[in-house]
A and B are shown apart, each in its own frame.
Chain A
Amino acid sequence: MNAVLKTESSEPTPEDCNRSIGIVETRYYTFAEPPGTITLESGETLGPVTLAYETYGTLNREKSNAILVLHALSGDAHAAGLLREEEAPGWWDAMIGPGKPFDTGQYFVICSNVIGGCKGSTGPSSENPQSGKPYGTEFPFVTIADMVHAQRHLIDFLGIDRLLCVAGGSMGGMQALQWVASYPERVRSAIPIAAALKHSPQQIAFNEVSRQSIMADPAWRDGNYYETGQPERGLSVARMIGHITFMSDQSMEEKFSRKLKKDHFNFNFDADFEVEGYLRYRGANFVKRFDANSYLYITKAMDYFDLSGGKLINGRAVDTRFLVISFKSDWLYPSHQSQEIVRQLKLKQVDATYCELKSTYGHDAFLVELEGQTTLIHHFLEKTYLGPRNGNRNGNHR
Chain B
Amino acid sequence: MEIIDNGIRPDHRIIFDMIEPGSRVLDLGCGTGDLLQLVARDKDARVQGIELDEHAIYECVRKGLSVCQSDIESGLAEYPDGSFDYVILNQSLQEIRKVFFLLREALRVGNRVIVGFPNFAYINARVCLGLGGKAPMTQSLPYRWYDTPNVRFLSISDFRSFCEEKGFAVRKACFLNGERTITFWPNLRALGAIFLLSWEEKKGR
A interface residues (Cβ-Cβ under 8 A, vs B): 321, 323, 342-344, 346-347, 349, 351-358, 372, 375-376, 379-380, 382-383, 387, 389-395
Given A356-B54, A357-B54, A379-B62, A390 and B40 contact (CB-CB distance below 8 Å): yes
In the complex, whether B111 has a CB less than 8 A from a CB of chain A is no
By a CB distance below 8 angstroms, the chain B residues around A391 are 36-37, 40-41, 47, 63-66
Question: Min CB distance, B16 to chain A, in Å?
Answer: 15
In the complex, whether B83 has a CB less than 8 A from a CB of chain A is yes
Q: Which of B25-70 contact A (CB under 8 A)?
A: 36-37, 40-41, 44-48, 54, 57-58, 60-70
B interface residues (Cβ-Cβ under 8 A, vs A): 36-37, 40-41, 44-48, 54, 57-58, 60-70, 77-80, 83
Q: Would you list 28 pairs from A and B whose C-beta atoms are within 8 A, ordered by A residue?
A: A321-B66, A343-B78, A344-B78, A346-B78, A346-B79, A347-B79, A351-B48, A351-B66, A352-B66, A352-B68, A354-B68, A354-B69, A354-B70, A355-B54, A356-B69, A372-B58, A375-B58, A375-B62, A379-B61, A379-B64, A389-B46, A390-B40, A390-B47, A390-B64, A390-B66, A391-B47, A392-B44, A392-B46
Residue of A nearest to B60 (CB): A353
Residue of B nearest to A358 (CB): B54
CA distance A390 to B65 in the complex (A): 6
CA distance A389 to B47 in the complex (A): 10
Contact of A355 among B62, B63, B69 (CB under 8 A): B69
Given A347-B80, A390-B40, A353 and B64 contact (CB-CB distance below 8 Å): no
Given A344-B78, A355-B57, A383-B64; 9 other pairs, CB 8 A cutoff: A353-B61, A353-B68, A355-B58, A379-B64, A383-B61, A390-B40, A391-B36, A391-B37, A391-B65
CA distance A342 to B74 in the complex (A): 13
Q: Report whether A349 and B83 are in contact in the complex, using a CB–CB cutoff of 8 Å.
A: yes
CA distance A395 to B46 in the complex (A): 14
Q: Count A/B pairs, Cβ under 8 Å.
A: 85
The 10 A-B pairs at the shortest CB distance, nearest first, are namely A383-B64, A346-B78, A391-B64, A391-B40, A391-B65, A354-B68, A343-B78, A379-B61, A353-B66, A379-B62
By a CB distance below 8 angstroms, the chain B residues around A346 are 68, 78-79
By a CB distance below 8 angstroms, the chain A residues around B63 are 391
Given A376-B61, A379-B61, A349 and B79 contact (CB-CB distance below 8 Å): yes
By a CB distance below 8 angstroms, the chain A residues around B61 are 323, 353, 355, 375-376, 379-380, 383
Contact of B68 among A321, A342, A347 (CB under 8 A): A342
Residue of B nearest to A321 (CB): B66
By a CB distance below 8 angstroms, the chain B residues around A349 are 79-80, 83
By a CB distance below 8 angstroms, the chain A residues around B37 are 391
CA distance A392 to B63 in the complex (A): 10
CA distance A395 to B48 in the complex (A): 17
Residue of B nearest to A357 (CB): B54
Q: Report whether A390 and B46 are in contact in the complex, using a CB–CB cutoff of 8 Å.
A: yes
By a CB distance below 8 angstroms, the chain B residues around A351 are 48, 66
Question: Min CB distance, A391 to chain B, in Å?
Answer: 4
Question: Min CB distance, B76 to chain A, in Å?
Answer: 9
Contact of B41 among A342, A383, A389, A393 (CB under 8 A): A393
By a CB distance below 8 angstroms, the chain B residues around A321 are 66
Residue of B nearest to A346 (CB): B78
Question: Min CB distance, A23 to chain B, in Å?
Answer: 33
Q: Report whether B41 and A347 are in contact in the complex, using a CB–CB cutoff of 8 Å.
A: no
CA distance A180 to B69 in the complex (A): 22
Q: Report whether A372 and B69 are in contact in the complex, using a CB–CB cutoff of 8 Å.
A: no
CA distance A387 to B58 in the complex (A): 18
CA distance A394 to B62 in the complex (A): 12
Question: Min CB distance, B142 to chain A, in Å?
Answer: 28
Given A347-B80, A372-B58, A353 and B41 contact (CB-CB distance below 8 Å): no
By a CB distance below 8 angstroms, the chain B residues around A358 are 54
Question: Min CB distance, A194 to chain B, in Å?
Answer: 15
CA distance A376 to B68 in the complex (A): 12
Residue of A nearest to B57 (CB): A355
Contact of B78 among A347, A380, A389, A394 (CB under 8 A): A347
CA distance A387 to B46 in the complex (A): 13
Question: Min CB distance, B135 to chain A, in Å?
Answer: 34
CA distance A24 to B78 in the complex (A): 45
Residue of B nearest to A392 (CB): B40
Question: Min CB distance, B25 to chain A, in Å?
Answer: 10
By a CB distance below 8 angstroms, the chain A residues around B79 are 346-347, 349
